[in-house]
Amino acid sequence: MTPTQVMEAEHRLIETVVKALGGVAAALEKGQPGGAAILPTAVEFFRVYADKLHHGKEETVFFPMLVKRGVPPQGCPIGGLNHEHEKGRALVQALADQAPAYAQGKPGAKEALLETLRGIVDLYQNHIWKEDAMVFPMADKVLTAADQAELSEKFGEVDRAVGLDVVARLETFANSLGTSGQAPLPSAAAKGETRSGLRPAQAQCDQK
């Protein structure tokens, strides 16, 4: 697999967990709280697999290689994508805080949790689309064969630093959700729109 194919494969697992969170939100709105049991492991998945592993590859290896080949480090796309990584971390931290508050029945916890779940679904769907449709095809054009080989080697180093057993466990978790029958939460991205109301093809990097 090429480096971009590796990242696309990681995206598919991340999407599976994102869709499961959408299913949790949809169930909570109907008064069905059972799905919330996956939230602690989902938090770990986003912190370790989506962020430390996947975003770690992008921020420490992939994006710097694009910069080396002339892609600006600030602005669109790299600056905007890095900003979205930070937004994702904040949302996952909110999820980590709100899930136990909801489990304890604290006032307002359900509403706060639903808002965070919707935010995660919307952010990740848009973010993944930008990378799959725009950034990865661009990378395959500008990176040399030597660049690709170097990325593959360094990606392996990131995998080993996270822990191959940890990666395998979180991949198993994501794959288990893919057959759970949970429906994704309708979001702007799912309806073919972004937060700004534009179709995905018109989406710009979010740096607000």
Closest CA to 14 of 121, 108, 96: 121
Share of the chain above pLDDT 90, in %: 82
Query: What's the 3-state SS for 59-76?
Result: HHHHHHHHHHCCCCCCCC
* pLDDT higher than 90, residue 133: yes
* pLDDT higher than 60, residue 172: yes
CATH number of the domain within which 61 lies = 1.20.120.520
Residue 71 lies in a domain: yes
* Reported pTM: 0.86
Bond before 184 cis per omega within 30 degrees: no
| Least reliable range by pLDDT among 6-15, 30-39, 154-163 | 30-39
- What's the number of domains the chain is made of? 1
Work out whether the CA dihedral 20, 164, 50, 63 comes out positive or negative: negative
Give the pLDDT confidence score for residue 34 in this predicted structure: 86
Residue with tokens 């600006």: 72
Query: To 5 degrees, how large is the angle CA 142–CA 199–CA 191?
Result: 120
Average pLDDT over residues 31-35: 88
Q: Which domain holds residue 177?
A: 3-202
Distance CA 173, CA 164 (A): 14
Residue 85 lies in a domain: yes
Residue 207 lies in a domain: no
* pLDDT higher than 70, residue 177: yes
Average pLDDT over residues 83-90: 98
